């Protein structure tokens, strides 16, 4: 069958760098860190006392007070970024067949605050089994997609993918495939996460997964730097509108870029660590490129998973060199997590947005905080973009996300041409 072409026609974001996609992008290209001392709770007794939180966020700026009480921050972030993306897309929902628009969302954890609060209240109140009637619908990971669907009347496929830090990339891959198979005209897709609370920070501290650079939070996320000591937790949401090309052209939509391919793989190696040679990462990138009908030499830019962890930041460059060979020297390679922090299940969404804008705007955001080379990383073979944004013509780009459990997802975006 002839597959449909898929394009990106709208974007929205609520992140540690800004309350809109534009604010977030401008902070990225200017190399701004979103890290700061934690405000969501008293972290004074925790090993890590900082994170990349959404700044100055007031729920009642976006929701009626009664509605806000029914929504975990994870769902709130998703609804806010989606409202911006739909407006940005120019979709006139009164003229659309809403049965042909769906929602595929990504979240690795879901309503952690709701879960933690309810369990804490239970144990503090003499184990009296009195729970909020909204406990379950606020907590479950799928609920953000449900809320988006209900708010706008979207009756197409509606669900949430959960694959740890690859969740929103899996969601976007599914949305892409549904559209090109002719199953829908458009999708609201992306992801949200809100895990900067006691259980989230404490859990990652126990794993020794997150940075403890409490004296310099803004320098803590330092992908590919020798002195990295773990990722920096982040929260927020990002939404992309994926749309069938002819549908977008018929309504005169602006087009940011084309979604060209998706590759998914499993490491089959370890519960939390990546394959040491990046075998699964190389496979997801290769499969995405082949799915796009391209070759490795066509790639101009890679927004890496690049979490600032000791092991992960060694495996991914190895995967890049093994797949791209000499061409890796010509690819602009960065990690926007150095600025946003790690949005966990929403990481793929905000990084896909950054990748699309790199193509659309001709600018590659930097990987900030790079100071010293790690002898385990082959810098001579990879064109890393360190500390300062680079203006460049980007025709084809990859966005990588890899999650606990060995989940790997790579997406290919390219400059739109008719």
Which residues are known catalytic residues?
165, 305, 342
CB distance 397 to 247 below 8 Å = no
The number of angstroms, rounded, from the C-alpha of 359 to the middle of its chain's C-alpha atoms is 17
Strand, helix or coil at 8? Answer: strand
Cα dihedral 300, 190, 102, 241 sign: negative
Say how far apart CA 280 and CA 274 lie, in whole Å. 8
Judged by DSSP in three states, 373 sits in coil
Quick count: other Cβ atoms within 10 Å of Cβ 355? 28
Query: CA 89, CA 100: separation in Å to the nearest integer?
Result: 16
Listing DSSP states for 231-270 in one string gives: B-BB-EEEEEEEEEHHHHHHTT----EEEEEEEEEE--S-
- Distance of alpha carbon 143 from alpha carbon 110, whole angstroms: 8
Are the CB atoms for 399 and 413 separated by under 8 Å? yes
> What is the rounded CA–CA span in Å between residue 315 and residue 318?
5
- The DSSP call for residue 163 is B
- What CA–CA distance (Å, rounded) separates 42 from 139? 22
Closest listed residue to residue 201, CA positions, set 116, 132, 294, 88: 116
Q: Please say whether the dihedral angle defined by the alpha carbons of residues 112, 81, 145 and 75, taken in this order, is positive or negative.
A: positive
């Amino acid at each position: 069958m002839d597959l449909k072409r898929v394009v990106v026609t709208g974007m929205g974001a609520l992140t540690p760098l800004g309350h809109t996609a534009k604010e977030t992008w401008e902070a990225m290209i200017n190399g701004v860190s979103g890290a700061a001392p934690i405000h969501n709770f008293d972290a004074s007794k925790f090993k890590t006392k900082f994170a990349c939180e959404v700044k100055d966020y007031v729920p009642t700026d976006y929701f009626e007070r009664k509605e806000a009480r029914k929504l975990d921050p994870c769902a709130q972030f998703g609804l806010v970024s989606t409202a911006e993306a739909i407006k940005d897309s120019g979709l006139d929902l009164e003229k659309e067949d809403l049965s042909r628009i769906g929602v595929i969302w990504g979240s690795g954890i879901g309503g952690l605050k709701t879960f933690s609060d309810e369990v804490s209240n239970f144990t503090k109140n003499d184990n009296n089994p009195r729970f909020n009637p909204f406990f379950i619908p606020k907590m479950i990971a799928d609920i953000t997609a449900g809320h988006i669907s209900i708010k706008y009347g979207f009756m197409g496929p509606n669900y949430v993918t959960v694959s740890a830090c690859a969740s929103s990339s899996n969601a976007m891959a599914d949305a892409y495939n549904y559209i090109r198979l002719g199953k829908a005209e458009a999708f609201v897709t992306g992801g949200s996460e809100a895990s900067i609370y006691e259980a989230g920070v404490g859990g990652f501290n126990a794993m020794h997964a997150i940075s403890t650079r409490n004296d310099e939070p803004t320098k803590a996320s330092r992908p590919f730097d020798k002195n990295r000591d773990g990722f920096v937790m982040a929260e927020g949401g990002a939404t992309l509108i994926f749309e069938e090309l002819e549908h977008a052209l018929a309504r005169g939509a602006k087009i940011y870029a084309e979604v060209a391919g998706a590759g998914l793989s499993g490491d089959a190696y370890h519960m939390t660590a990546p394959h040491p040679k990046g075998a699964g990462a190389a496979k997801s990138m290769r499969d995405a490129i082949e799915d796009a009908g391209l070759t490795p030499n066509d790639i101009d830019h890679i927004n890496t998973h690049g979490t600032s962890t000791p092991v992960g930041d060694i495996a991914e460059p190895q995967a890049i060199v093994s797949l791209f060979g000499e061409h890796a020297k010509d690819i602009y390679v960065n990690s926007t997590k150095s600025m946003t922090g790690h949005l966990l299940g929403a990481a793929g969404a905000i990084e896909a947005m950054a990748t699309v804008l790199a193509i659309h705007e001709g600018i590659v955001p930097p990987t900030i905080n790079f100071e010293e080379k790690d002898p385990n990383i082959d810098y001579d073979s990879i064109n890393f973009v360190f500390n300062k944004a680079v203006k460049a013509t980007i025709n084809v780009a990859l966005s990588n996300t890899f999650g606990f459990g060995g989940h790997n997802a790579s997406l290919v975006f390219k400059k739109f041409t008719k």
